[in-house]
Structure 1
Amino acid sequence: MIDVLTVVVGVASLLLAAWCGLAFRRDEPTKDWHFIGMAVVFALALVQLVAGVVLLTRGDRPDQGVAIFVAYLLGSAFAVPAAALLSLSERTRWGSATVAAAGLVMAVLEVRLYDIWGGGGV
């Protein structure tokens, strides 16, 4: 994996989690600017997904297996969009909490992706 990209995606997801966690604390639902933040995090995750697929097609292999790597890569890419859909259906502070939780989950998935790949990278 590309280490810098993994760090950027992880930090962006943590920032999104903190931002939406603050909205939850203030008793606010997700707003338009939160969805812009979610779109940015999703775009970064898609770049990582494409980079991971390119590395796999180039012949690079993760230490802990391709199937588990692809599963974590897909889970990481779609954690925030799934939370965005849930937050649209829950237009209370709990929608913000859902996105904050997804940001935290995504950060953990990034750490796990780094570990699955072998802790080193391109």
Structure 2
Amino acid sequence: MLDALTVAVAVTALALAAWCGYAALRDQPTKDWHFIGMAVVSVLALAQLLLGIVQLARGEEADEGAVIFVAYLIGAFAAVPAAGFLSLAERTRWGSVTVAAGAIVLAVLEVRLYDIWNG
């Protein structure tokens, strides 16, 4: 899998986590700018999902198996949008905390995806 894309997703996810964590410290809910950041991270995760599926379709193999790899790709793609939807329901600082936690989960999933693909 493309290592640069994996690093880009992880770095942008950590930047989003820091940004939303800072908003939570300032007792602010998620705002429109945070949702734009979530969209950027989600588009990168979608590109990674599509690239991973294309590579599997071309015959490349993940070291730990294709099923686990695709499951982690789907989970990585869903982490930030799920946290974003939850933050819409909680329009307090805890919505920002939820997005920060979802972004951290995405960064951890990226490390695991790298391990699954490269062994």
TM-score, L = length of structure 2: 0.99
Q: Deviations over 1:68-112 (max 9, x none)?
A: 100100000010000000000000000000000001000000000
Report what 2:67 is aligned to.
67
**How far off its partner does 1:9 sit?**
0.3
Report what 2:44 is aligned to.
44
**How far off its partner does 1:118 sit?**
1.2
Tell me how many residue pairs correspond in the alignment. Answer: 119
Q: Deviations over 1:46-89 (max 9, x none)?
A: 00000000000000010001111001000000100000000000
Report what 1:57 is aligned to.
57
Identity rate, percent: 68
In structure 2, runs of 5+ residues without a counterpart are none
TM-score, L = length of structure 1: 0.96
Report what 1:108 is aligned to.
108
Report what 2:22 is aligned to.
22
**What is the RMSD computed on CA atoms of the aligned residues?**
0.6
In structure 1, runs of 5+ residues without a counterpart are none
Q: Which runs of 4+ in 1 moved over 3 A?
A: none
